[in-house]
Amino acid sequence: MKSLRVFTAIAALANVELVRSHCFIWGVYLNGVDQGTYHAIRTPAYNGPPPRGYANSPVKDLNSIDLRCNVLGDKQNPYTIKVQPGDNLTFDWHHNNRTEADDVIASSHHGPAMVYLSPDPPTENSFVKIWEEGLFELGSAPFAPGKWATTADIAANNGHMNVRIPAGLKAGHYLIRAEMVGLHEADSSYEKVPFRGAQFYPNCVQIEVVGDGTVELPSGVSFPGAYKYSDPGVVYDIYCSTKTTVTTPCATTYQIPGPTVWSGAWPETTQVELGPISGVSTATRWSSWISKSIVTTATFDGNAPKVVATSTYTASWSAKYVAPTAAV
pLDDT at 325 > cutoff 90: no
pLDDT at 5 > cutoff 70: no
pLDDT at residue 59 in the model: 93
Burial of 264 (0-12, 13-18, 19+ CB in 10 A): middle
Q: Is-contact 180 154, C-beta < 8 A?
A: yes
Region 174-199: what's the mean pLDDT? 96
C-beta atoms surrounding 89 within 10 Å: 23
By residue count, the chain amounts to: 328
When pLDDT is cut at 50, 70 and 90, the band that residue 126 belongs to is very high
Residue 171 neighbours by CB under 8 Å, 6+ apart: 208, 209, 210, 211, 212, 213
pLDDT at 17 > cutoff 70: no
Looking at residue 151, the DSSP 8-state letter turns out to be I
pLDDT at residue 248 in the model: 60
Give kind and range of the element (H or E) at residue 294. Answer: strand 294-301
pLDDT at 20 > cutoff 50: no
Instruction: Provide the 3-class DSSP secondary structure of residue 2.
Output: helix
Is this prediction's pTM over 0.85?
Answer: yes
Give kind and range of the element (H or E) at residue 6. Answer: helix 2-12
Residue 123 neighbours by CB under 8 Å, 6+ apart: none
Give 67-130 as a DSSP string.
Answer: HHHSTTTTSPPS--EEE-TT-EEEEEEESSBSSTTS-SS-TT----EEEEEEESS--TT-BEEE
Give me the residues paired with residue 180 across strands: 113, 201
Please give the Cα distance from 34 to 225 (Å, whole number): 33
pLDDT at residue 258 in the model: 98
Q: Report the chain's mean pLDDT, rounded to a whole number.
A: 87
Give residue-wise pLDDT tens across range 252-272.
789 999 999 999 999 988 889
C-beta atoms surrounding 108 within 10 Å: 13
pLDDT at 328 > cutoff 60: no
Alpha carbons within 13 angstroms on the beta-carbon side of residue 282 total: 8
Alpha carbons within 13 angstroms on the beta-carbon side of residue 173 total: 14
Please give the Cα distance from 29 to 270 (Å, whole number): 13
Give residue-wise pLDDT tens across range 144-177.
888 999 999 999 999 999 999 999 999 999 999 9
Q: What is the CATH number of domain 22-45+56-279?
A: 2.70.50.70
Q: Which residue has the higher pLDDT, 20 or 235?
A: 235
The residue ranges of DSSP E strands in 189-287, in sequence order, are: 199-209
Q: Is-contact 130 163, C-beta < 8 A?
A: yes
Instruction: Provide the 3-class DSSP secondary structure of residue 8.
Output: helix
Q: Which residue has the higher pLDDT, 19 or 302?
A: 302
Looking at residue 257, the DSSP 8-state letter turns out to be S
When pLDDT is cut at 50, 70 and 90, the band that residue 240 belongs to is confident
When pLDDT is cut at 50, 70 and 90, the band that residue 233 belongs to is very high
Give residue-wise pLDDT tens across range 220-229.
999 999 999 9
Type of residue at 30: L
Please give the Cα distance from 81 to 77 (Å, whole number): 11
